[in-house]
């Protein structure tokens, strides 16, 4: 089963290498990984989609926790959450095909962000299912290039994954 | 772009430094001086190291520091010495090397400390930040190289962060499940000036070791223990690390539960106690392995179910519920299914358990085990030649089981585990997880530095000893009277044994041509004693013990003796070769 983890990390150099290294070293499969800053400049958030059974996920979780830079891990899959991915697709578009492509763009609520003499570049956001469906529908025109950001995700409603996670200076005797 | 920014920052920082220097000139120290001051303030007395270009600022500061620096003859030696020092004293071991080859020479030592959870701080010089990332002379990405073998690491970017970094590094290395922490120190950071302010606060939001176990889990463990009729305690290095040996003894006696030890757990429970089963696993005693195979409750204490202990996990402790007490939550369920996990510091958890446990009802089981101990003792056949086992026994007899023993890796290490009766924690110091040949001599040096009044023996193989033999010079240099007992079988004995058992006696590249160890010892300025006959054994050991110099004993032993019993790799514990 696929799990979507939200991993809060200290914004230190090398933290991405630590996390990525841990996954490859222990043989965990990463489906996608997206990183960026959060509302707190000292904290970055990684959204990691990882495939595995419960035992694997438990190990992923515990091993990640052992990294000193990792502050908090939440498995969003256990809750209701919203996830999004942004994709850009450069598709071959002969003048005769453009109308049909633009119709698809409308249906999927995508956007054309660049027009070339032989291609259209289309941006679409959505969850995995929508993006896969869109890609499939464009395939017959010929996809020249495709880039995906990887999934980001957030819990629904008032809850957050950052709670109990105020960055405080710890006093140690 | 990045480097421009860095340069700019550096330039402005330099400006600041100059300005500030005028105002408070006494308070300004170089990064190297701050490093040493911080180490002293954290209680560090000794560093094991080796100099080089990018470490020169640090060595210059060492020139008039009160820190005791031991110049090893190889950085690997420095790392193992720091490791041995840490294991013997419980205090963090500190090693120091220059950038590039100095740093990469530490790698085996760091990995060794990581595998055996040893508190260690490794400090490396690094090229100045302006040269980082350009394949500069003696540049190696040591934080990158050691990422998977350190508990944490730092590349220090600014002299003003150094005091904080040292404090955190020592804190991380020594707390929770201990481990090595690396501090990489670019030369500009160690030579620029900054104000030294002792760090007092930690800034580690992601690091919170759990020490006190969940009382619900402790209760549940207690309930399972009280119900058990055939309990076995499986005690690992965690008992030694957390200092839980007294609690362990009280629990074992209260429950009448036999105790088997992992290799690193030896000494955590008195080896001469009737309830002691000695070592468990591939080269475990028969009775320890039988006990695991027949128990109805296995209480794992500070142990991690290594494959050298469990053999085939499917047949490991097949009838038992398993309680796993460990400070590292990631160890729970990693290799075997666990019924009752208890995460916390082993000493505290055993203390919590002692408050609620009642005397056990395992008399029948205990008697069965005592009978096994009588029936299946460790044995070897006495011949008219020098038996390696007899040498260990004699060293044990003459030192009354009270020496600090290190080992290299191989057959001699297993015979030491079998035939030296360890009764005190921190008395057996060996490379367990990584199995590093060449560990024992430098480790013995670290042990002797940490415990100057104690008797230290490195039990060595003729192969392993040559991997860090240069450290004999360190021992001579610093007048550290370590004793090296080489069980010289002319083979990479453990390799030969596997070739005998599993590769049709095809002894491919396992026979050794050795130097004359006596001449070698003497060349280094140590004493050398060769022993060929059983009658010479006792006097030679006595002579070594009484010598004030480092002594190398060259025991010419029965060449093709095997370590037995043995569970073939991946086999069931109750099916042993003998
Ligand atoms: C650095 C290193 N290289 C290789 C090995 C594999 N190895 C394990 S035991 C052994 C033989 C050790 O020979 P010796 O030191 O003479 O000890 P003996 O087994 O003969 O007692 C070897 C090569 C190892 N453990 N460590
Ligand atoms: Mg040998």
Domain boundary among B375, B404, B419: B375
The B-side interface with A (CB below 8 A) comprises 143-144, 147-148, 151-153, 155, 171-172, 201-207, 328-330, 332-334
**Residues of chain B above pLDDT 70, percent:** 96
Residue B126 CA to residue B191 CA, distance in Å, equals 12
Q: Quote the pLDDT of residue B26.
A: 56
Domain that holds residue A27: 2-80+156-171
Nearest CA to B437 among B469, B405, B473?
Answer: B469
Within a domain: B383: no
Domain boundary among B315, B346, B375: B375
Quote the DSSP letter at residue B416.
Answer: H
Tell me the CB-side half-sphere exposure of residue B253, using CA atoms within 13 A.
Answer: 10
Q: Quote the pLDDT of residue A162.
A: 76
CA of B462 to the centre of ligand 2 (A): 5
Judging by beta carbons within 10 Å of its beta carbon (0-12, 13-18, 19+), is residue B112 exposed, middle or buried?
Answer: buried
A6 and A76 in one domain?
A: yes
Q: What is the pLDDT of residues B132-169, one digit of tens each?
A: 999 999 999 999 999 999 999 999 999 999 999 999 99
Instruction: Give B143's contacts (C-beta < 8 A, 6+ positions apart).
Output: A14, B153, B154, B155, B182, B184
Q: What is the pLDDT of residues A128-150, one digit of tens each?
A: 899 999 999 999 999 999 999 99
Any atom of ligand 1 within 6 Å of the Cβ of B499: no
For the residues B356-365, what does the mean pLDDT come to? Answer: 92
A75 and A17 in one domain?
A: yes
CA of B421 to the centre of ligand 1 (A): 23
Residue B570 CA to residue B307 CA, distance in Å, equals 8
Residues with CB under 5 A from ligand 2 (ion): B 461-463, 489, 491, 493
Report residue B362 as tokens: 């395992």
B333 and B447 in one domain?
A: no
Q: pLDDT band at A111, cuts 50/70/90? A: very high
CA of B463 to the centre of ligand 2 (A): 5
φ/ψ (deg, to 5) at B29: -125, 160
B487 three-state secondary structure: strand
Nearest-neighbour CA in chain B from A68: distance (Å) = 5
The A-side interface with B (CB below 8 A) comprises 9-10, 13-14, 17-18, 21-22, 25, 55, 58-59, 62-63, 65-72, 165, 167-172
Q: Is the pLDDT of residue B179 over 50?
A: yes
Average pLDDT taken over every residue of chain B = 95
A98 and A70 in one domain?
A: no
Concerning whether B511 is annotated as a catalytic residue, the answer is no
Please give the C-alpha separations between residue A56 and each of A16, A60, B125, in angstroms, as whole numbers.
20, 6, 38
B135 and B30 in one domain?
A: yes
Q: Does the bond joining A137 to the residue before it have cis omega, within 30 degrees of 0?
A: no
Q: Can you give the pTM of this predicted structure?
A: 0.94
Interchain pair B205, A67: CB under 8 A: no
Any atom of ligand 1 within 6 Å of the Cβ of B194: no
What CATH number is given to the structural domain containing B275?
A: 3.40.50.1220
Instruction: Give A128's contacts (C-beta < 8 A, 6+ positions apart).
Output: A83, A85, A151
Which has more confidence, B384 or B510? B510
Q: Quote the pLDDT of residue A41.
A: 92
CA of B563 to the centre of ligand 1 (A): 13
Q: Give the number of A-B residue pairs with CB atoms closer than 8 Å.
A: 58
Q: Is the pLDDT of residue B3 over 90?
A: no
A15 and A75 in one domain?
A: yes
Q: Which of B283, B410, B498 to mutate to test the pocket of ligand 1 (most atoms within 8 A of CB)?
A: B410
Best probe of the B interface among A16, A60, A66, by most B CBs < 10 A, is A66
B234 and B156 in one domain?
A: no
Number of CB atoms found within 10 A of residue A98's CB: 14
**Residues of chain B above pLDDT 90, percent:** 93
For the residues B278-305, what does the mean pLDDT come to? Answer: 97
Average the pLDDT over each of B26-35, B81-90, B168-177, B297-306 and give the range with the smallest value. B26-35
Q: pLDDT band at B360, cuts 50/70/90? A: confident
B357 three-state secondary structure: coil
Q: Quote the pLDDT of residue B489.
A: 98
Catalytic residue of the set B75, B394, B527, B561: B75
Any atom of ligand 1 within 6 Å of the Cβ of B99: no
Domain that holds residue B139: 23-195
A34 and A102 in one domain?
A: no
What CATH number is given to the structural domain containing B42?
A: 3.40.50.970
Which run of H or E residues covers position B571? none
Length of chain B: 578
B222 and B148 in one domain?
A: no
Q: Quote the pLDDT of residue B428.
A: 98
Which atom of ligand 1 is found nearest the CA of B410? Answer: 19
Q: What is the pLDDT of residues A70-94, one digit of tens each?
A: 999 999 999 999 999 999 999 999 9
φ/ψ (deg, to 5) at B562: -115, 155
Q: Is the pLDDT of residue B7 over 70?
A: no
CA of B408 to the centre of ligand 2 (A): 10
A21, A72, A170: residue with CB nearest B204: A170
Q: Quote the pLDDT of residue B383.
A: 83
Interchain pair B151, A68: CB under 8 A: yes
Q: Is the pLDDT of residue A7 over 80?
A: yes
Q: Quote the pLDDT of residue B529.
A: 98
Best probe of the B interface among A68, A162, A170, by most B CBs < 10 A, is A68
Q: Quote the pLDDT of residue B9.
A: 39
Query: Using N-to-C axis directions, what is the helix angle for A54-66 and A15-25, rounded to 10°?
Result: 140
Which has more confidence, B42 or B25? B42
Length of chain A: 173
For the residues B260-285, what does the mean pLDDT come to? Answer: 98
Q: pLDDT band at A163, cuts 50/70/90? A: low
Which has more confidence, B200 or A51? A51
Q: Where are the alpha helices (DSSP H) in B406-470?
A: 411-419, 440-450
Within a domain: B298: yes
What is the ipTM score, two decimals?
0.88
Within a domain: B280: yes
Domain boundary among B327, B345, B375: B375
User: How many domains, chain B?
Assistant: 3
What CATH number is given to the structural domain containing A144?
A: 3.30.70.1150
Which run of H or E residues covers position B473? helix B471-477
Concerning whether B413 is annotated as a catalytic residue, the answer is no
Within a domain: B103: yes
Nearest-neighbour CA in chain B from A51: distance (Å) = 18
Q: Quote the pLDDT of residue B19.
A: 43
Quote the DSSP letter at residue B226.
Answer: H
Q: What is the pLDDT of residues B512-561, one digit of tens each?
A: 999 999 999 999 999 999 999 999 999 999 999 999 999 999 999 999 99
Q: Quote the pLDDT of residue A165.
A: 44
Q: Is the pLDDT of residue B492 over 90?
A: yes
Q: Quote the pLDDT of residue B21.
A: 43
Report which protein residue has its CA nearest ligand 1's atom 18: B493
């Amino acid at each position: 089963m696929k799990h979507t983890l939200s991993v809060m990390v200290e914004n230190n150099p090398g933290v991405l290498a630590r996390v990525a290294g841990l996954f490859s070293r222990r043989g965990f499969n990463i489906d996608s990984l997206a990183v960026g800053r959060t509302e707190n400049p000292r904290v970055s958030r990684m959204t990691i989609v990882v495939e595995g059974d419960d035992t694997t996920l438990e190990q992923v979780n515990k091993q990640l926790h052992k990294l000193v830079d990792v502050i908090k891990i939440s498995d969003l899959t256990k809750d209701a959450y919203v996830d999004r991915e942004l994709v850009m697709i450069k598709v071959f578009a002969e003048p005769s095909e453009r109308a049909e492509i633009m119709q698809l763009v409308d249906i999927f609520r995508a956007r054309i962000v660049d027009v070339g003499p032989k291609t259209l570049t289309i941006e679409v956001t959505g969850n995995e299912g929508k993006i896969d469906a869109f890609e499939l529908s464009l395939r017959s025109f010929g996809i020249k290039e495709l880039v995906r950001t990887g999934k980001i995700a957030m819990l629904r409603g008032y809850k957050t994954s950052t709670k109990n996670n105020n960055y405080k200076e710890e006093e140690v005797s | 772009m990045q480097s421009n920014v860095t340069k700019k920052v550096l330039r402005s920082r330099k400006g600041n430094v100059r300005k500030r220097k005028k105002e408070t000139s006494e308070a300004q120290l170089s990064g190297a001086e701050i490093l040493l001051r911080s180490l002293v303030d954290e209680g560090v007395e000794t560093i094991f190291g080796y100099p080089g270009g990018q470490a020169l600022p640090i060595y210059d500061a060492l020139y008039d520091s009160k820190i005791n620096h031991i110049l090893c003859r190889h950085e690997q030696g420095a790392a193992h010495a720091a490791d041995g020092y840490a294991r013997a004293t419980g205090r963090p071991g500190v090693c120091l090397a220059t950038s590039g080859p100095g740093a990469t020479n530490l790698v085996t030592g760091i990995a060794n400390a990581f595998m055996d959870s040893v508190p260690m701080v490794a400090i490396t010089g690094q090229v100045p930040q302006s040269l980082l990332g350009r394949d500069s002379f003696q540049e190696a990405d040591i934080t990158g190289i050691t990422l998977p073998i350190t508990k944490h690491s730092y590349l220090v970017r600014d002299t003003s962060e150094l005091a904080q970094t040292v404090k955190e590094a020592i804190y991380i290395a020594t707390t929770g499940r201990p481990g090595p922490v690396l501090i990489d120190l670019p030369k500009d950071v160690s030579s620029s000036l900054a104000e030294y302010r002792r760090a007092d606060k930690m800034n580690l939001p992601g690091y919170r070791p759990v020490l006190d176990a969940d009382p619900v889990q402790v209760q549940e463990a207690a309930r399972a223990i009280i119900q058990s009729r055939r309990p076995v305690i499986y005690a690992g290095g965690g008992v030694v690390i957390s200092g839980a040996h007294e609690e362990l003894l009280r629990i074992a006696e209260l429950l009448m539960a036999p105790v088997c030890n992992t290799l690193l757990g030896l000494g955590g429970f008195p080896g001469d106690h009737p309830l002691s089963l000695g070592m468990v696993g591939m080269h475990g005693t028969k009775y320890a392995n039988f006990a695991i195979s027949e128990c109805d409750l296995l209480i794992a204490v500070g142990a991690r179910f290594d494959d050298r202990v469990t053999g085939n996990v499917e047949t490991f402790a097949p009838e038992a519920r398993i309680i796993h007490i460990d400070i590292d939550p990631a160890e729970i369920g990693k290799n075997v299914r666990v019924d009752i996990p208890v995460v916390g510091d082993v000493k505290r958890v055993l203390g919590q358990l002692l408050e609620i446990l009642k005397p056990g009802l395992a008399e029948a089981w205990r008697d069965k085990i005592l009978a096994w101990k009588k029936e299946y003792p460790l044995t070897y056949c006495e011949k008219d030649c020098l038996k390696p086992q007899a040498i260990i026994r004699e060293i044990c007899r003459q030192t009354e089981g009270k020496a600090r023993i290190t080992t290299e890796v191989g057959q001699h290490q297993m015979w030491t585990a079998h035939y030296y009766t360890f009764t005190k924690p921190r008395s057996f110091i060996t490379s367990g997880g990584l199995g590093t040949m060449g560990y024992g001599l430098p480790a013995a040096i670290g042990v002797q530095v940490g415990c100057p009044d104690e008797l230290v023996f490195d039990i060595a193989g003729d192969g392993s000893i040559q991997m860090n033999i240069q450290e004999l010079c360190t021992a001579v240099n610093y007048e550290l009277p370590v004793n090296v007992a080489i069980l010289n079988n002319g083979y990479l004995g453990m390799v030969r044994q596997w070739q005998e058992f599993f590769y049709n006696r095809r002894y491919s590249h396992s026979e050794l041509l050795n130097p004359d160890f006596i001449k070698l010892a003497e060349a280094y300025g140590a004493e050398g004693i060769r022993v060929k006959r059983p009658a010479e054994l006792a006097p030679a050991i006595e002579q070594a013990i009484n010598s004030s110099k480092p002594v190398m004993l060259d025991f010419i032993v029965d060449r093709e003796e095997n370590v037995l019993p043995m569970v073939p790799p991946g086999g069931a514990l109750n099916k042993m070769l003998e």
